[in-house]
Structure 1
C-alpha cells in the first residue's frame, strides 16, 4: 500500500516549440500533447533531437519560440525547480558524499517535507527498486545497476508531475536492462505523472508500449500509439526510424495489379495504389533465406556481410538497387561474395510516393 497519495493526473503540452543552436534551427516546430497512464516514448537515432526536446520540456534549455504547458499552465519561462519534474539520465547522477537514503531523500528535503513523510517515501521507493539493504551505502559502493536504481528511486519518491528518462538503461549490462525495462512501466503506473522515455532502440519502444513520437533531424515525423505507429508508418522517414536493422528500400513500378522490382514481380490487389513509380520498404525480418510459402517472392543478391547475434542471423546483400538486409532465426550457411536466394513477403511491403508519403 502506498504511503502517500497518488498525484493528480496532468498533461504536458508543447505548442509550436523550436530550439536554435548557434543560429541554426535544431528542433523544428513541434507540437505534442503527452498524457499520463502510459509511457510516452521519444524514438530516434543519436542526434535526432530527443535530449534537446526533453531539456526544453524540463526547463533546462529555453525554447526559441513556442510554449510549454503543464496542466494547462504556461511554464515556458519557469525554471526547472518550479516545474516539479524529475530527470534520469543514462549516466548515473548521484551525490557521491551522500548515502543511498540521502540521495533518494534530497529533493524531498529541498521541498521542506516533514521528516516522517520523507522516511516513508524513501523506504517505499527503496522497496520498489530493491534498495532497502543498500540505504546506508554510498554510490561508490554500488554496482552500476544499483546506482541507476537509486536515481530511479529518487524520481519515484519525489512524486513529480513529469518524469523524464533520457536513455536511462543505455549504460547497463544486458540482463539488468531487460529486468529494469520490464519493471519501468509498472514502477510509474498510477502515479499521475507524465512519463517521457527517450531511446534509440525500436525494440525498446515496442516493449514499453504506450505512445511513441518518432524523431529525425529535430522533427517529429509521427506520433501515436506505439504498436500502430510501428505497423502503419505514415511516411518513409517514420518507417526508417522504426526499424532496426535498417528497413530495406527500392524503387518499384506498378502496372495493373503487378509490382515490378527489376526482373522480379508480384501481385498487389490494393485498389488505392494507382499505376506509377513508388518506393517499396520492407523490414529485414520479412526478407528470409528460406521459405516454404508459395506467396513469398524470390530475389537474389550477393552476400556482403554476415552476422550472428544470439539466435538470429543477418546477411547484408547487394540486390541491384543497393544493399538490403535479411534477419532470420537460426544459423544459415552464407558465403560472403556468393549469390544467395532470399524470399520477401509481399504482404509486409509498404509503398511510398516519390515525396515519401505512405501510399499503401
Structure 2
C-alpha cells in the first residue's frame, strides 16, 4: 500500500496545528515522526487514522482519496500513550476484540491471538485482567491488539512514554524487530532523539506543525538542514556559537580563532553559527588539535553514568556531556576543549552550510 498526505493543514479557531504537510509512505516502511511536545504529532496521526479531518488538503491510499473516510472503513490500527485496554475483558479478549468485530472464526482468532501474544511475551497472562498486569504488560497488550489486526497502516503515538527506562529500552528493541518483519506502513511518534535514531528507518522532523526535514534517520542526523533540526535531533540540544569568518580564520570570541582548514576550508567571509554536539565537548584535551575554551559553570546535572555540565562561554549557554560523575561548583571557571572538525556551520538564517565529515559526526 502507498499512503500520501498532500498539502494538509489543520486549524482550530485561530490556532494552526498543522501547516502544508506533504508525505509519501510505502508498504513495509518504518517512519518515525520526531518533534517536541505540541509539535503536532498526535494531530497528524489522528488525521492519518481518519479520526479527524484536515482543514485543507487530502489523504490518499493507493491513489484513492480517503479524506473524511471514517476510521471504521480504513484498515488502520493505533496505539496511544496511555494503556488503553478494556478493563472488564481478559488480556486474551482484549487482543481478540478487533478480530471478533471482523467476524473471524473462533479457532483462527485463538491461533492469531496466541501467536501475537507470544511475540510480545505476554502469552502467560492471557487469562488475566489488565489491572492485574504491570504497566509494561498493559502496553504490550495494547500493542498486541493493534498488531493482531494486521492493518496496512499502524500508528503508534509515543507508546513507550509512560514506561520506565528499562522497559522502554527493552520494548524499543523488540518493536524494531517486529516492525522489520511486517509489510505494514508503520508510523511512530516520539519526542526523544535517541529513540528516533534507535528505531531508524525514515525520519520526519516536525516543529510547530511544519515538517522541517525528512530522510533516512542516519542521514538527517549527519546533515541536519537547519539549526532547529539540529537542536531537535540532539539531547541536550546542539551547542551554538556566533562566529565571524575572514579569509583565513574563524573567530569564536574571547580572542579565540581557528584556521579555516579541513571541512572549513574556503568558507566565504561572513557571520555564521557554529554548532557542536555536547558529546563533542570535553573537560580534558583528547587530541593535539583540540582547542581550549574557558567557561563558567551554571549547573552540573548528573544523569546516571554521565554528567551534563551547563556553562556559559562568551555569553553563549553550552552543555558539555562528560562520562562519569563530576561535581562542579556553580560559578566556577573551567577550561573545556573542542575539535574544530566537529563543527557544523550554519548561515545567519540558520540553514546548514557545511557538515563534518561522516567519521567526525
TM category, shorter: over 0.9
1:298 alignment partner in structure 2:
292
In the alignment, structure 1 residue 260 sits paired with structure 2 residue 254: no
2:340 alignment partner in structure 1:
346
Aligned residues: 351
State the distance in 2 between where 1:224 and 1:159 align. 26
State the distance in 1 between where 2:260 and 2:328 align. 31
CA offset at residue 23 of structure 1?
2.6
Deviation string for 1:100-150 (max 9, x for gaps)?
111101111111112222111111001111111111111111111110000
Deviation string for 1:51-75 (max 9, x for gaps)?
1111111111110111111222211
Give 2:88's match in structure 1, choosing from 97, 116, 141.
97
Deviation string for 1:229-287 (max 9, x for gaps)?
00100111111110100211121011123111112111232345211001111111111
SS at match of 1:178: helix
CA offset at residue 38 of structure 1?
4.0
Q: Is the 8 A contact 1:282 1:349 kept in 2?
A: yes
2:357 alignment partner in structure 1:
none
SS at match of 2:57: strand
CA offset at residue 333 of structure 1?
4.4
2:304 alignment partner in structure 1:
310
State the distance in 2 between where 1:61 and 1:26 align. 12
State the distance in 2 between where 1:31 and 1:345 align. 38
Deviation string for 1:164-202 (max 9, x for gaps)?
111100111111111100000111223210101100000
CA RMSD of aligned residues (A): 1.2
State the distance in 2 between where 1:98 and 1:292 align. 58
Single out whichever of 348-357 and 192-201 deviates more from structure 2.
Answer: 348-357
SS at match of 1:168: coil
Q: What's the TM-score, normalizing by structure 1?
A: 0.95
In the alignment, structure 1 residue 204 sits paired with structure 2 residue 195: yes
State the distance in 2 between where 1:338 and 1:190 align. 53
2:135 alignment partner in structure 1:
144
Structure 1 segment 129-278 matched on structure 2, within 5 A: 129-262=120-253, 263-269=255-261, 270-271=264-265, 273-278=267-272
In the alignment, structure 1 residue 281 sits paired with structure 2 residue 264: no
Q: Is the 8 A contact 2:302 2:326 kept in 1?
A: no
Single out whichever of 326-335 and 212-221 deviates more from structure 2.
Answer: 326-335
Q: Is the 8 A contact 1:278 1:353 kept in 2?
A: yes
Q: Is the 8 A contact 1:38 1:185 kept in 2?
A: no
State the distance in 2 between where 1:37 and 1:283 align. 33
Unmatched 5+ residue regions in structure 2? Answer: 355-361
State the distance in 1 between where 2:158 and 2:266 align. 40
Q: Is the 8 A contact 2:10 2:54 kept in 1?
A: yes
Q: What's the TM-score, normalizing by structure 2?
A: 0.94
1:113 alignment partner in structure 2:
104
SS at match of 2:352: coil
State the distance in 2 between where 1:238 and 1:175 align. 28
